[in-house]
Structure 1
Amino acid sequence: MCVCIYIYIYMMDLGCWRLFGAAILFFHGFCFSEKAPNYTFMHEATSAPDISYYDYIIVGGGTAGCPLAATLSQNYSVLLLERGGSPYGNPNITNLAAFGQALADLSPSSPSQRFISEDGVINARARVLGGASCLNAGFYTRAATDYVNRAGWDGRLVNESYQWVEKVMAFEPSMLQWQSAVRDGLLEVGVVPYNGFTYDHLSGTKVGGTIFDQDGQRHTAADLLQYANPNGLTVLLHASVHEILFTTTGKSRPIAHGVRFTDASGINHRAYLKKGSKNEIIISAGALGSPQLLMLSGVGPADHLKAHNITVVVDQPMVGQGMSDNSMNAIFIPSPVPVEVSLIQVVGITHFGSYIEAASGENFAVGSHRDFGMFSPKIGQLSTVPPKQRTPEAIAIAVESMSNLDEAAFRGGFILEKIMGPLSTGHLELRNRNPNDNPSVTFNYFKEPEDLQRCVEGIRTIERIIESKAFSKFRYDDISLQTLLNMTANSPVNLLPKHKNASTSLEQFCKDTVMTIWHYHGGCQVGRVVDHDYKVLGMDALRVIDGSTFYYCPGTNPQATVAMLGRYMGVRILSERLASDTTK
């Protein structure tokens, strides 16, 4: 049973009492059921009418779109369009032990859509209600205070929005031996102070949150829809938005007034905004989807749009620019003793701009889940060859090689480094006019020398952790660091490149072994494509609210801040509308 309390709040800024429709207080522990929720507002897009009308239309039911929709639904009618399906009932999403299986699924119905950047690094794009929170390694941590200040966000509302998310999604992990050894090793090599368990971004070593509960069950942004007013929200699944519709005739600025989308049967539907000057369309389709949809709708670099026979609504050359992906490099450490299954729980936030994290056990490759883990070629995390050589044939060879090894070869774990920022940027372009196809994206890993040096320092720090007393239990004394860096199939598993020159530089090691940690961002950045209220420049009734607006990845892992931003902007939009209505 879930107890929901509607409360009246005296809104100081407005000087009046109002029913805070959104103020349904859910008490964590008994209001949020661990079972799949009965969302009466969630439907297949095939059931949608040909034409419908709403106060808000949100494109993308991901980590930002779900909390945004839940918040706005308290006072207005909201349509949330998600191109994927439901995460509920899919054990490959919900179970920690099955991590990686969804990423390895290459079928058209997979919740994960694989894409390969022009750099050659294999990546993933969410295609499911809840977005990347349904696919990731679960680490939950907030952005740094200075990040919040630079973004111009209200600190009090930011904290309240994080807390709103955390009541549903975040938990304190159980620290077992491997993660504890990494933590103690970080402290031993000088990544100090120790900040204990905290969601906050603090220099030194800390234990962060996780979206996996004590039973190993994942809690996603889709769970935040339990906050929604069921009478104010409609969620349509397998709804692919092809374009934003604009009114331009006789107007000085184009006005977004609707969207065209197709259902799973390919049938076209249109959804329009109700009449009202405050009603809006909000794109929350992610760092690939949001700039892609703007371009498909005629908002982007004019020459590029004309090349694809797209009518230019606004010549906006910065759409698709500033694309970044935080590079990840890792070292596999075979263990003489068994290790627990763990995803990321500990992080070392270094002074030189690299984050040190770790994962262990069968989540990367062992038993029935072999080849399905965080560093498996099955999901595209192939570091045995440089990026441009990671062909389907190379992946198949790596998977076959791993399948022939004894399970003991996989006993151990990885310690990884992810560079802060990054400073290196690239761009995104359309390949065609199909919104379900991936655009072309270039991240330019290590283009900026400082990024490469951060990687090198990160690898050096990992080496010191491996040699630390705290980590000695999980290290073979007769395997040197150079052997770990040049691991071959004979000692004991080929998970890292073999170089002919044993003295290969760490710079080259970083370039050859670069992988993604799925934290890409940019393409619709604040001040370039949207203003500080996330309104698209040069037009009305259209915003972009998601990670595509970021210049740098917030904190060590972005999902907490992306979810916070959805809630934060939902509250701001509601407050501004209430204030505007009161003054009329």
Structure 2
Amino acid sequence: MLLEILSYFDLKVLLLVIRLVQFLIVALGSIPLDFRDYPDQATVTDGQSFDFVVVGGGTAGCVLANRLTEVANWTVLLMEAGDDPPVFTENPMLSVLVLPSLPDWNHHSVDDGYSSQARQSKSVHHISGTMLGGSSSINYMYYVRGNKADYDGWEELGNTGWNWENVQRYFKKTERYMDSVKDTSRGFHGLIGVTKQEWRQRTNFYLEALKENGHEILDDYNRDQQSGYSAAQFSIADGTRQGTAVAYLKPIRDRPNFFLLKNSLARKVIFDHDKRAVGVEVTLPNKEIIRVNAKKEVILSAGAVNSPQLLMLSGVGPKDHLEEMGIEVVHDSENVGENLQDHMMVQVMLTGVNGLSSVIQSADPFFNWHRFPVPTLIGFASLNKSKSYPDYQSTVCPLGASHLMVMMACRQIFDLDDEACMKFISAGKAKETLNALVSLLHPASRGSIKLRSKEPEASPLINNGYFSNGNDLEDFAKYVEDFVSVANTSSLRSFGSEVVYIDLQQCKNFELGSHEYWKCYMLNTVGSHYHLVGTCAMGPEGEGVVDERLQVRGVGGLRVVDASVMPTITSGNTNAPVLMIAEKAADLIKVDHGACNV
């Protein structure tokens, strides 16, 4: 196999070749194609008015555009900083392989001098799609609702109407679960197709080992019981990625009350003398700056980084910070940009079965154009195996010997240096490997978003806050130790399975495999699951940036609808919860403006 003969120099060359191929594929996929049926660019003039102006054509924005234009006498303008998704984003296999070259906001965290120090950049690239559908057009497509306790917890924090019983119906409204077993807890008529992709010949052996290690084996982790391991579910149907640009925008391309601005950057929200949002200032593709007016509401759906940035650029945020940036204060809201949460993630590897079919298995991605390119299990677990609320998530992929995806994860997700990546690759030269991305589901640590500049084009300052609460590092080490203990089962011992330890320079004083080693390893290699939330959190007066109806406190005519409104992060991948939030928000808006009685 190719990777078996790599030297460090060869690895660098191969990475350059891979990036070039990714770039060329994306460039070809960016050629406009009439048959793709995305909505056309609208002609919008300075001062033109719409009932609703939605800022951000990502996951939530596309849902809102679809649902609000269901009211025939409402006009809705959706503005997106990017363009149509490149054609390859619709293909489950290609979109994963070329992800680093897809249009992205290119947000990077600041180097805090503490976490992620074994990463080459000493910071974290928070990938976020700049295109219609946003991150739903470029993510890894895992579909995870979260845990009942997540949403009951939101209501306990003062957010009436966000308990599990209430939000479950919006999950059901969103999804079209492609399974022959009908269950009343799942939705079967929504716009987002969801499939469970099983690779039983490749995964059953590992499921048996996990079962031996005390974990439940589930048919569906998106029902009431989440703790356990199961084949992964994806927002994929009929061989197509189910991003919101595909599922929610294509069907409304000809609605006469829908208007779309692409390649158009929102600069700030405009308020009147009563602190009511009345419009948005936007830079058009030709660099002309115009104002568009909102007769009913402005809605920010720009994501957990860009929504708080836009609020602060508009004068809604911490007073001292806005004055420092030279921005006139409209409303002093000290929690804008605070409460940043993320699922911290590390890469862990075990050696697996003998790699007798390594050539075939290493070609997995190229034989699976219609699905996620490699076999995948998802698990939710706690140190207390009887607990229903999980501590950590494992995304587990059995990969053939010398599999290309090992190197791509090491360099393109975790940004580790050649020496560390070669150790991962060398460990799997002759054996299949069990590659796991292990995530801390409920971090106590918090980060923040601050303005770098009052210029809208400037990326904000992202302080991850990883392990700012010391309990997270201690707990996370225990969770990784719990996961890798599967190597001690009789199933894996029969193949001589071993945990792969990377002797990082930063951890040279610790015994490999010790608790202190794992703490050091996680502190220095930690990356992001790309699940940033919480920076415009809903909550009661004096705490929340928005109320339980997602209206921005202290001003009028302005809502936030995206991952930033989550008061606490959910138990798992966040795309499905954002879909739910947007569907529920659409109903709230309709009720508030007399269009329906929900």
TM range (shorter): 0.7 to 0.9
Q: Determine the C-alpha separation between the residues in 2 that align with 1:283 and 1:197.
A: 33
Is 2:590 the counterpart of 1:569?
A: no
Is 2:570 the counterpart of 1:554?
A: yes
Q: CA deviation at 1:462?
A: 2.2
CA contact (8 A) 2:279 2:294 kept: yes
Q: Determine the C-alpha separation between the residues in 1 that align with 2:211 and 2:194.
A: 25
Which amino acid is the alignment partner of residue 60 of structure 1? Answer: G
| CA separation of 1:200 and 1:398: change in aligned 2, threshold 3 A | farther
Q: Determine the C-alpha separation between the residues in 1 that align with 2:563 and 2:150.
A: 14
| CA separation of 1:71 and 1:36: change in aligned 2, threshold 3 A | farther
CA contact (8 A) 1:171 1:212 kept: yes
Is 2:380 the counterpart of 1:348?
A: yes
Per the alignment, residue 40 of structure 2 pairs with 42
Per the alignment, residue 517 of structure 1 pairs with 529
Which amino acid is the alignment partner of residue 284 of structure 1? Answer: S
Work out which of the residue numbers 65, 69, 72 in structure 1 matches 2:65: 69
Q: How does 1:88-107 map to 2 (within 5 A)?
A: 88-89=86-87, 91-92=88-89, 94-104=91-101
Work out which of the residue numbers 202, 213, 217 in structure 1 matches 2:225: 202
SS in 2 for 1:535: coil
Per the alignment, residue 54 of structure 2 pairs with 58
SS in 2 for 1:422: coil
Which amino acid is the alignment partner of residue 199 of structure 1? Answer: N
Q: How does 1:103-502 map to 2 (within 5 A)?
A: 103-104=100-101, 110-111=103-104, 113-119=106-112, 120-151=123-154, 152=160, 153=162, 155=164, 158-167=167-176, 168-192=192-216, 194-200=217-223, 202-207=225-230, 208-213=232-237, 215=239, 217-222=240-245, 223-226=247-250, 228=252, 230-248=255-273, 251=274, 254-274=275-295, 279-335=296-352, 336-337=354-355, 338=358, 339=361, 340=364, 341-342=373-374, 344-350=376-382, 351=387, 353-361=391-399, 366=403, 373=408, 375-377=409-411, 379-382=412-415, 384=416, 408=429, 412-471=433-492, 477=496, 480-481=498-499, 484-486=500-502, 499=508, 501-502=510-511
Q: Deviations over 1:186-237 (max 9, x none)?
A: 3221123x3312423624214342113464x322121222454722212221
Q: CA deviation at 1:563?
A: 0.7
Q: Determine the C-alpha separation between the residues in 2 that align with 1:357 and 1:512.
A: 20
Q: CA deviation at 1:95?
A: 3.1
Q: Deviations over 1:408-447 (max 9, x none)?
A: 4895341122112221102111011233332111122122
| CA separation of 1:581 and 1:533: change in aligned 2, threshold 3 A | closer
Worse-superposed segment, 94-103 or 280-289:
94-103
Worse-superposed segment, 532-541 or 455-464:
455-464
SS in 2 for 1:183: helix
| CA separation of 1:349 and 1:402: change in aligned 2, threshold 3 A | closer
Per the alignment, residue 526 of structure 1 pairs with 538
Q: CA deviation at 1:573?
A: 1.6
TM-score (structure 1 length as normaliser): 0.78
Aligned residue pairs: how many?
A: 501
Q: Determine the C-alpha separation between the residues in 1 that align with 2:424 and 2:535.
A: 39
Q: CA deviation at 1:59?
A: 0.6
CA contact (8 A) 2:442 2:571 kept: no
SS in 1 for 2:59: coil
CA contact (8 A) 1:183 1:205 kept: no
Q: Deviations over 1:530-578 (max 9, x none)?
A: 1111110101000111111113222311110101110111022213323
CA contact (8 A) 1:57 1:80 kept: yes
Q: CA deviation at 1:84?
A: 1.2
Q: Deviations over 1:323-365 (max 9, x none)?
A: 1121111212345323454265422332461122213448x99
TM-score (structure 2 length as normaliser): 0.76
Q: Determine the C-alpha separation between the residues in 2 that align with 1:136 and 1:359.
A: 17
Which amino acid is the alignment partner of residue 511 of structure 2? Answer: A
Is 2:520 the counterpart of 1:508?
A: yes
Q: Deviations over 1:31-88 (max 9, x none)?
A: xxxx97523x431x7x432332111111111111111221111112111111111115
Q: Determine the C-alpha separation between the residues in 2 that align with 1:173 and 1:514.
A: 28
Q: Determine the C-alpha separation between the residues in 1 that align with 2:152 and 2:394.
A: 25
Unaligned runs of 5+ in 2: 1-33, 113-122, 155-159, 177-191, 365-372
Q: Deviations over 1:366-396 (max 9, x none)?
A: 55x785x4x232x3512x4xxxxxxxxx5xx
Unaligned runs of 5+ in 1: 1-34, 385-393, 489-495
SS in 2 for 1:280: strand
Worse-superposed segment, 238-247 or 444-453:
444-453
| CA separation of 1:430 and 1:342: change in aligned 2, threshold 3 A | same
Q: Determine the C-alpha separation between the residues in 2 that align with 1:270 and 1:343.
A: 49
SS in 1 for 2:218: strand
| CA separation of 1:156 and 1:512: change in aligned 2, threshold 3 A | closer
SS in 1 for 2:538: coil
Which amino acid is the alignment partner of residue 395 of structure 2? Answer: E
Per the alignment, residue 389 of structure 1 pairs with none
Q: Determine the C-alpha separation between the residues in 2 that align with 1:239 and 1:403.
A: 42
CA contact (8 A) 1:112 1:135 kept: no
CA contact (8 A) 1:94 1:134 kept: no
CA contact (8 A) 2:345 2:438 kept: yes
Percent identity over the alignment is 22
Per the alignment, residue 120 of structure 2 pairs with none
| CA separation of 1:138 and 1:184: change in aligned 2, threshold 3 A | farther
Per the alignment, residue 83 of structure 2 pairs with 85
- Root mean square deviation of aligned Cα: 3.2
Q: Deviations over 1:267-303 (max 9, x none)?
A: 21221013xxxx1111011000010000001111112
Per the alignment, residue 181 of structure 2 pairs with none
CA contact (8 A) 1:67 1:566 kept: yes
Q: Determine the C-alpha separation between the residues in 1 that align with 2:270 and 2:420.
A: 45
Q: Determine the C-alpha separation between the residues in 2 that align with 1:37 and 1:199.
A: 32
CA contact (8 A) 2:202 2:375 kept: no
Which amino acid is the alignment partner of residue 357 of structure 1? Answer: T
| CA separation of 1:314 and 1:576: change in aligned 2, threshold 3 A | closer
SS in 2 for 1:126: coil
Q: Determine the C-alpha separation between the residues in 2 that align with 1:144 and 1:247.
A: 41
Which amino acid is the alignment partner of residue 467 of structure 1? Answer: N
Which amino acid is the alignment partner of residue 340 of structure 2? Answer: M
Work out which of the residue numbers 544, 565, 575 in structure 1 matches 2:560: 544
CA contact (8 A) 2:533 2:563 kept: yes
Q: CA deviation at 1:461?
A: 2.0
Q: CA deviation at 1:97?
A: 4.4
| CA separation of 1:347 and 1:315: change in aligned 2, threshold 3 A | same
CA contact (8 A) 2:590 2:596 kept: no
| CA separation of 1:366 and 1:98: change in aligned 2, threshold 3 A | farther
